[in-house]
Amino acid sequence: MIKGVIENDSSEGIHIINKTVNLFTITNKEGVFFIEATIGDIVVISSVQYNLKVIVVNKDMYDNKEFNVTLKENLNELDEVIVGVQLSGNLNTDIKDIKTEELFSPEDVGIPVYDGVQMEEIVPMHKAIMFYGIGFRLDIEATYKNLSGYYKTLKTTRKLDKENNSLEAIQDFYGKQFLSTVYNLPEEKIYDFLLLCIQTSDIQYEFGKENHNVVLKIFSDKRKEFVVNKQ
């Protein structure tokens, strides 16, 4: 077990991955992490706010069981910066200083409000036609949608939407730079690669359960398969 310390001021929640043995951890509030590693292992440090860092564990790091790292900040230049009201830290004072001509909405104060379209219920055929003794009740609309293939198309669309949402979540968590560097993927092929992982493995489930070591194993296995498919 090797201890690492990220020396940057903002260093909590940075992804630390031992690519060689597919182990994953994150830094704590002090920027400290612990990970199993031996000489020659490749350790990747990935974060949204910092540039990707790749470290090869050497003898000194292994013998000392500790190493420090300073990351280079990932700066995105802005065309324009608008400075608003300066906050004092006193809530009552700051609220009085806020000038607005519009009423607050629930979203303005952090209250979640559902304003989307209610998801349509898919009624299976056995519920569209309900038998009661010698009679039955027929849901004409549901029966038509079953027979016409409407519900089948709707299920497929929802499945694709779910896959796409999962793909974006996985991509955002690990980052394009990490996926491209560690798995030698052109950025334009990352979407196809993640889609292959989603459609041919349990990566959605494992990612949802935060089983990152399993996710990284899936990445490694599917990377080989992806190369074969693309040749």
Report the greatest alpha carbon distance in the chain: 84
Mean pLDDT of the 109-128 span: 67
Cα separation, 204 vs 206, whole angstroms: 6
pTM of the model: 0.51
Q: Is the pLDDT of residue 67 over 70?
A: yes
Q: How far is CA 49 from the centre of its chain?
A: 15
Q: In the predicted model, is pLDDT for residue 76 greater than 70?
A: no
User: What is the residue type of 8?
Assistant: N
For all residues of the chain together, what is the average pLDDT? 79
Average pLDDT over residues 99-120: 58
Judge whether 17 and 43 are in contact, CB under 8 Å: yes
Per the CB < 8 A criterion, the answer to whether 196 and 229 are in contact is: yes
Q: Tokens 């990445």 appear where?
A: 219
